[in-house]
Structure 1
């Protein structure tokens, strides 16, 4: 141990490490330096949450952060307020659509159960003695069930729950689309008052096209003339130019005109025709269902009053036919199919109006960029750009539909 202590003292001696004393002097000098007294430090006040974070917390919808500075924070605040209202509309339409889909399934099942039970009781009433409590109970129960089923059918055929559910599903999708359109406006440019007005008009147009309430503002379920659904305000052109010609040329203009012609002649006309045929079927089913249940109630009420078998035959057969008609109408959701065809026709009408509103603008610089518009139309129709050009080339002679989506 003594030898180890001697060797360690020689190893760390001043002669072997002359800089050790020098560094020690530096350390000592720094320790004896005068103290510097710092005054209070003023830090900038940071806001606890910006508008985007506040919006995300309230709605739960993520948004893209704006990368460009805007000169008008009030415009951005208004757009965020509209986005919050749109997100709330999405939730309302989702909830009400789910509720009305339940109406369709529960009411259809209940009416079929009541109708078939009434038919069974009418048949049993004919098998017991005409005088006595069992006969009276079965007969009256059958009549009551048929009358109740008739009342429920009248209400159900009036409001068409499957069609209402389709309206809410479509409204939810369109409000989500509007939400992301506003988000894009906030992300890629400097929004102005025109963007706020446009967003407000779109929200109000959607509210009018897809009302939430049933009383007063419900859309007509059996219109005399079928028209494409409309959920957009009057088209307005953005004054955005990306070049001297703004992506437009004579070839593109001719192509867009031919696509509009194909949409009108084939796609829109086809879906309007399908909507008319389905609507006629729905009217026939909605009329025959309550008539059959009333006829069955009349037959059940006459059971036992005559020795003929026609009352019980009518009471049982009409009830069975009413159950079949109700299953075809509401089980197959014919009203939903009508609304789906009407929305498809409206979708093609929107594409037509968007193209024609650009074509009608003489100043090319005020149009939407031609290349961007062509890409949008191609995606909306489920085609590539080359397929869109081929469609325009054969639009006059071919019977091919413009859309490949549906």
Structure 2
């Protein structure tokens, strides 16, 4: 494994589909899986095979069509789950079984009515069952974010010894602060003797809006896989946003990390996922929101028009966006107004713009955005006045 490579594990088709109203059929899942493979993700979590016949079929069909991408099926630490997942994954060129169990005291006591030692035994057994079917086994320590670090290290050491090739450290409830999550990853690096035999994976939820920050903190402290979804879809407040972590690592290339994602496909795939899953993307969403490359403040517009890098650290075409937009509002300035007039075919002097600007502000104060139709009307009235004078 190249030290700087960060593997992108996409769970849009599994965790993303858990959003109410986002249920996908097999045909839709296959279409998105093919698009994700084209995007360049390393692993696709295609579903939870035992959960329903439809999910089994989706995982099975995706396993048949993936050429290079690893196909992953989720299970609980239950033998039947693992057997069903293995059956669904049979056609895959690169199959992975993702099994695990809750490790926080909240889960051990309230959910399982069990003990820490029994949980370790169940975790080890689950990995051993999975290893009977595939070489690539990922273990998740559910609610690792709220799990005591010393105990978590014991669990991770035991499952790696049992054959786990990837160990997933989920912040299931989105509880951790970035420094806490990073310290947890660093603790495992420094206190699990066999940690070099597995890849550490980040699976962070966004309950406090920290999923992306936590995932990056995990990578900075030794994790080499990020579990994420297109548009940040997922249970409750969502998962880590794929487009955000990919572009953070790209923008901060000096850190030495990279992914194999083709960033020019990010916006088209965002729209495909949004349309297919019937889930709109918020306008101010980083990277893929409709306003991500829009400028409406006069100060910002003036700077942007002089040099785009004053207010854009990413070029729109780098992520497949349609382009930057100068949006005219009551906060816009003269340079933006002149720019927009020029775009629709009018060449005005600075004096012309000074006169037009006063009229523009009167219109802008009455509506959210001044459109090209408004500008044409302003130009027509201005030129008529000029001729009359």
TM exceeding 0.5: no
Q: Which band: TM-score by shorter chain?
A: under 0.3
Computing the radius of gyration over CA atoms, which structure comes out larger, 1 or 2? 1
Q: What's the TM-score, normalizing by structure 1? A: 0.19
Q: What's the TM-score, normalizing by structure 2? A: 0.20
